[in-house]
Chains A and B, each alone.
Chain A
């Protein structure tokens, strides 16, 4: 008899912090205590709170242990599993009620989870993703069964349209409409493609879904295949995601074995199978036409649209292409109905959205919230605010195609249209929090470096234009910028946006345009005052001793790696700006706030 389940997170975040070693050690420990028949270890997908990894949860009571190490395990087994006493020192402190010492609240009632609504992530962290039985136990493949036995393809499309689901990969195109286009393209061969080439740096929801609930994506692709009349699907997944690839491979094999992929599924006469293709590290392949070109075995360069993939896609045939998170919503929509899904969210953006919280925020990790939640709720409540008492400056969404949301817009309800209106975009859902120590010009430069590197080179505005913009930004951060450069940047940005071939080129100026819009004063400080307010751009920073505060303790002098500080004991010290390499060690050593960064 199993009396307790121990869930260990096997996602990339937690395995990177050592959860595999914990699983092995725990298995040994249980065996040593003779508990291996009573307590079952389950490796699950991501729980979402990556910052606290490695995470283990003990059921049935739901005790949430964070930052567990191998040496903690014997105590957990001895105290909790044998004697029933929770190891308080390891319990995540938000789950411990302060008033009544020792009791703990369910994880679902913590600030981090309370505001969340898990649809796409519903199985992540609950089931063993390598077991099709556990997926089926959570109503898995029931939606496919319903579609194949009770619904016509036209009815499926209607449900998708009524649900208001929009593509979660960036553009936000209505999914039902996309499918309808593919239905109307007449051909005896069509394809269903899953875009799992999550290239937006800082976004990892698709990876977590594939690692935590791969069958949901497979099921949804089969539903899509039935709806548009396709019998073949491809999942294009980043090679950088080895765990996701492994679990997808297992899931596809299990589905085939159970007859949920292959021929005559549910005795309905419907055939569908899926192949995996691995990306090879090219950001542009996240763009749909480039992705198709890459599956075909070529350089992943985008093609002009129209024709859209729904008309002429993979190998020249009608193709629908959706991203992982979009697919993960679909089985739920079929089972619970379009109106259930449409009841969540805002007028034009229905349902929920997964965000990857990163950067200067306490709870880095994955959160899924109804559309229309404000940025303030995400950052201050769910995310636990900016750490170290620093001030929230901006949130960057949409990666290299997106922009920054400044603190003044923190109460904007987040959905596709609101983000566009304030000059950012949803993108795939990366949300990087920046604090007062981040320089906005440097952030714009960072994204431009990325775009220049990843531009495929096919069209001139993107290949050459982005490089020119980067050069101007480098000029500014080196202290050689002029006010005309700012105008030039804006002019170039508008041309690139208007004339690039694909979405990546068209959106590449966004980081510059949005920082110029909200943080123009920082650009001007760089250009006119030759000063970097955040102290990031090294060429614009200088260190000086404040004579009134200096006690002459020599701490800075001794710490300086290049001997740029001179001065006698109990005398005011001086920094030689020529020798200084601007490492900032002196500031950290001074106990009297006598050195300032300008």
Chain B
């Protein structure tokens, strides 16, 4: 998965930082806790900009480049903020052979943003995901926590129209 550094200005709050410090404290004596810390940090901030990585690095003593190496390695970690409506289209094999590639293109076309990108107003982001395990419903897409299955590309506009506010 390609990573881009975000252009969105970081606006983390003091409250979020305190939460993060507590998380790091919790894992202080646990072996191999870098991943859990980063996962919880992403839950707090929604993504992992360099500012957050720096806090983790300062507190744990792990060099920043090592933290960045981990963040950029795993596709679950995001360097960019996700849209208010995060749209994910499953490109697992079962979905792909049933046409999820076309669905992804259709969404890109309607919203005018490329795969992996987000709209300028921060409302939508699109990504292709690996198998989410709902192969029985293929092809599948999710918008935040809502799952839509057994789709054709003609269903796309109807689904998107539910997420306009």
Task: Evaluate contact between B147 and A396: CB separation under 8 angstroms.
Answer: no
Shortest CB-to-CB span from A98 to chain B, Å, is 26
Task: Evaluate contact between B135 and A202: CB separation under 8 angstroms.
Answer: yes
Task: Evaluate contact between A446 and B138: CB separation under 8 angstroms.
Answer: no
Q: What does the 1/0 interface line of B71-98 toward A look like (CB < 8 Å)?
A: 0011111000000000000011110111
Task: Evaluate contact between B74 and A207: CB separation under 8 angstroms.
Answer: no
Report the separation of the CA atoms of residues A16 and B31 in the bound assembly, to the nearest whole angstrom. 36
Asked if A453 lies at the interface with its beta carbon under 8 angstroms from chain B, I say yes
Q: Which residue of B lies closest to A299 (CB)?
A: B73
Task: Evaluate contact between B97 and A360: CB separation under 8 angstroms.
Answer: yes
Task: Evaluate contact between A364 and B34: CB separation under 8 angstroms.
Answer: no
Task: Evaluate contact between B138 and A16: CB separation under 8 angstroms.
Answer: no
Task: Evaluate contact between B149 and A438: CB separation under 8 angstroms.
Answer: no
- Residue from B73, B75, B98, B133 whose CB has the most chain A CB atoms within 10 Å: B133
Report the separation of the CA atoms of residues A201 and B131 in the bound assembly, to the nearest whole angstrom. 5
Q: Which residue of A lies closest to B62 (CB)?
A: A297
How many chain B residues have a CB neighbour from A under 8 Å? 36
Q: What does the 1/0 interface line of B120-132 toward A look like (CB < 8 Å)?
A: 0000000001111
Shortest CB-to-CB span from A209 to chain B, Å, is 12
Partner of A53 from B36, B136, B138 at Cβ < 8 Å: B136
B70 cross-chain contacts in A, Cβ below 8 A: 297-299
B136 cross-chain contacts in A, Cβ below 8 A: 13, 49-51, 53, 358, 364-365
Q: Which residue of A lies closest to B93 (CB)?
A: A202
Shortest CB-to-CB span from B53 to chain A, Å, is 14
Q: Which residue of A lies closest to B60 (CB)?
A: A297
Asked if A141 lies at the interface with its beta carbon under 8 angstroms from chain B, I say no
Contact segment of A260-268, A278-286, A414-422: A278-286
A74 cross-chain contacts in B, Cβ below 8 A: none
Asked if A199 lies at the interface with its beta carbon under 8 angstroms from chain B, I say yes
A207 cross-chain contacts in B, Cβ below 8 A: 133
Task: Evaluate contact between A430 and B35: CB separation under 8 angstroms.
Answer: no
- Residue from B39, B75, B137 whose CB has the most chain A CB atoms within 10 Å: B137
Q: Which residue of B lies closest to A432 (CB)?
A: B93
Q: Which residue of B lies closest to A284 (CB)?
A: B73
Asked if A300 lies at the interface with its beta carbon under 8 angstroms from chain B, I say yes
Shortest CB-to-CB span from B70 to chain A, Å, is 6
Partner of B75 from A280, A358, A434 at Cβ < 8 Å: A280
A358 cross-chain contacts in B, Cβ below 8 A: 93-94, 97, 135-136, 138
Asked if A543 lies at the interface with its beta carbon under 8 angstroms from chain B, I say no
Residues of B28-54 whose CB lies within 8 A of A: 31-36, 38-39
Report the separation of the CA atoms of residues A204 and B92 in the bound assembly, to the nearest whole angstrom. 11
Shortest CB-to-CB span from A466 to chain B, Å, is 15
A49 cross-chain contacts in B, Cβ below 8 A: 136
Report the separation of the CA atoms of residues A541 and B132 in the bound assembly, to the nearest whole angstrom. 32
Residues of A385-408 whose CB lies within 8 A of B: 396, 399
Task: Evaluate contact between B32 and A364: CB separation under 8 angstroms.
Answer: no
Q: Which residue of B lies closest to A296 (CB)?
A: B32
Report the separation of the CA atoms of residues A279 and B77 in the bound assembly, to the nearest whole angstrom. 11
Asked if B69 lies at the interface with its beta carbon under 8 angstroms from chain A, I say yes
Asked if A295 lies at the interface with its beta carbon under 8 angstroms from chain B, I say yes
Report the separation of the CA atoms of residues A200 and B135 in the bound assembly, to the nearest whole angstrom. 12
Q: What does the 1/0 interface line of A488-501 toward B look like (CB < 8 Å)?
A: 00000000000000
B31 cross-chain contacts in A, Cβ below 8 A: 296-297, 315
Shortest CB-to-CB span from A292 to chain B, Å, is 10
Q: Which residue of B lies closest to A205 (CB)?
A: B133
Residues of A433-480 whose CB lies within 8 A of B: 434, 438, 443, 446-447, 453, 456
Residues of B1-24 whose CB lies within 8 A of A: 1
Residues of A231-263 whose CB lies within 8 A of B: 239-241
15 contacts between A and B (CB under 8 A): A53-B137, A198-B133, A201-B93, A201-B94, A202-B94, A202-B131, A202-B135, A239-B39, A240-B129, A297-B70, A315-B32, A359-B138, A360-B98, A432-B93, A446-B96
Which residues of B approach A to under 8 Å, CB–CB?
A: 1, 31-36, 38-39, 69-70, 73-77, 91-94, 96-98, 129-138, 140, 147, 149
